[in-house]
Amino acid sequence: MPLSAEDIRRGFTALSAELARRGEHGQMAIAGGAALVMLFNARLTTKDVDAYFLQPEPARVREAVVKVARELELPEDWLNDSAKGYFVGVSEGDVVYESESLLVRAVSTEQLLGMKLAAWRDAIDRADARLLLSQLEGSAEQTWAQVEPFVPRGQVDKASYAFDDLWEAMYGPSRSR
């Protein structure tokens, strides 16, 4: 079931209420398609919300997420941390949801781009990466220097080649290999 920005906000509101009921405060960072939907209206929907759970501990967040999914008739994995292998640290981007019991930030544009370049799977990743790159300023070398720290070590070569292809498609050749 595709999730719109409104579906995601509704889910966060219900999650906030569930955390409050449990006497807990949640904090997480989101990335992927959900961040692009929430921050840039890059597309109308995403398949899920990729997150890094900062607090409370991930198992407790997952329990609350499943309860919310049942209440709102969302897929059980509407909000998940299965992309955590693509997180190299957690940067602080814009706040996308805030209540007394839940704070949700997107990761920075640089981190979003690094994660997209590391995944580099399909036309959606390419379109998302194009949008993210257009948000950043600087030469190819300067931009890569801002993005590269967020690329998982095992994906640096793949991401670097993807970055070069993307830069060339958008701005022409610029980096030497």
Q: State pLDDT tens for residues 76-121.
A: 999 999 999 899 999 999 999 999 999 999 999 999 999 999 999 8
- Residues 6 or more apart from 64 whose CB is under 8 A from it? 15, 18, 19, 22, 26
The pLDDT score that the predictor gives to residue 177 is 46
Helix (H, G, I), strand (E, B), or coil: what is residue 156? helix
CB atoms within 10 A of CB 59: 8
Mean residue pLDDT across the chain:
94
The pLDDT score that the predictor gives to residue 176 is 53
The pLDDT score that the predictor gives to residue 123 is 84
Separation CA 20–CA 115 (nearest Å): 31
Question: How large is the average pLDDT for residues 70-74?
Answer: 97
Contact, 129 vs 161, CB < 8 A? no
